[in-house]
Amino acid sequence: MRKLIFNPVGLFCSWTVVCMFFWLIILILSDGFHPSSQIQFVLRIYSIISLVCGLFLISLLNLFLFKDWVRRHWFLNGLLTLVTGGIILYFVIKMIII
């Protein structure tokens, strides 16, 4: 079990599964709320934010933890770092401007 999770792809997949699990838990627990309630929307957005920030941190940690894997598959890790970092940067700039 440890070898399945403690590799770069396993870390990405396990974090995505955890975030999707919380997304489903939020859907199940908020079933009784009023449809105009904002709590469902806010909790789903928190789940998406944690997914993006977590994938960004994992891709940065891969640079230090799995150097051989990053040398072979630099395009996957680099693309994921750039995409998630760009999303984070976009929203940070939007918060500063507003």
pLDDT reported for residue 52: 95
pLDDT reported for residue 53: 95
39 close to 18: Cβ distance less than 8 angstroms:
no
State the pLDDT confidence band at 5, using cuts at 50, 70 and 90.
low
DSSP string, 19-56: HHHHHHHHHHHGGGS-TT-SHHHHHHHHHHHHHHHHHH
For the stretch 47-69, pLDDT in tens is: 999 999 999 999 999 888 888 88
The single-letter code of the amino acid at 28 is I
Predicted TM-score of the model (pTM)? 0.83
